[in-house]
Chain A
Amino acid sequence: MSLFKVFDVAGGAMNAQSVRMNVTASNLANAGSVSGDPEKVYRARQPVFSSFNESMAKQTGVAGVRLDGVVESAAPLLQIYQPDNPEADVDGNVYATNVNTVEEMVNMMSASRSYKNNVEMINTTKDLLLQTLSLGR
């Protein structure tokens, strides 16, 4: 019964979106962090999604979502002159993280909307299946 596959597909997508939400939370939590060593500064992380079973999708019409991994942003760090900061290096500079707060807020909204869409999809499909079960009663 092909309706059952919807649960797998939507479940996978919800998992991917919740990872995205976690990564966003981690980015926002570290948005204010600075360090004297550019190597040790927190860098913004982004999850990478890819389509699962893309080659099979032509036959079955089903393509789930898979999380390929989490990559660190290569955006430049902000160098701030703060000689009285205990973290400052010999030149009196600290490096701020490259997390973009506005971008992360938008990411969070987008992830939560996508998650809700998948929940709705599961609810609708569940209703359809339940109605099918009571057919002819």
Chain B
Amino acid sequence: MPNVLTYAEVRAGDLRKISLEAVSTARALADAYGGEVHVVLSGGPGVGSHAGTLGEHGADAVFVTEHEALAQYNPEALSALVAGRARNGYSAVLVGASARGRDLAPRVAAKLGAAILSDVTSLRREGDALVATHPVYTGKVLATLRLTSGDAAAVVSLRPGAFSATQAPRTARVEAAPPAGDPSAVRVQVKETTTADSRKLDLAEAPVIVSGGRGLKAAQNFKLVEDLAAAFGNAAVGATRAVTDDGWRPHSDQIGQTGRQVSPELYVAVGISGAIQHIAGMRASRCIVAINKDAEAPIFKVADYGIVGDVFEVVPALTAAIRELRARS
């Protein structure tokens, strides 16, 4: 079975970038097998309009299922739909490992009795096996995994951003496909969906955290930190124990041994000297930037990049630079 099946995730009517990454990856894999790329595209009425974009990225066939009950993420109906399609003989089923994708992929695997490779960062064919890399042990180790499933299908979920969305244009065949069973007959009922208030990103989730310490001198100066966080757009604001104890910030903002332990992509420490308790709370950050006027401050020992200077000069300059960067991209 040389064909590769993929699932296109649609959210609020829009085709997600990971769907294109998945199609592109499917394209590369299908080429290795000498087969076609088929896409399951489902959602509310009108979702079929995305078929063209899918074709541009390499889809040979798009199976469109439009139904009211599929407008929201509906794992039971969706997994039945994808698994049903997958039983027609595919070498692999690729799904982008977004939150929805990570929920969907195992369900499809279970329904197919297939093996699964989750959250991979690379994927290739080797004979009749699929070989992929997958970060394990909180990203400290890279595993190369081999899935040998013989004739049975394999389900693979792809880490968002690890694969590129590339063009491989063709006109995809579009087929209307009925939903599997009654999509509204689900056991897990969605009662309410809320959209996150992007201004109040939780410290545990924010990819960027800007933290302030005593070096800011007074509570009102925390505005510098807030402005920088706002400039990033996806940043939360943290604080050291010293400033939360003084009441400048609420205790829930405290990062450290006795507060929150965080591991964002980027941690910017503003006016923080780096007491042991604070460092224990943010050491796991992927990239640490420190701004402090004392070159001897312990924070510089753990920072990847440091600027020695007056926070009241450096931070506004950085805020302006980030704002400009965001505006351009």
Judge: A and B partners, yes or no: no
Tell me the B residues contacting A by CB distance below 8 Å. Answer: none
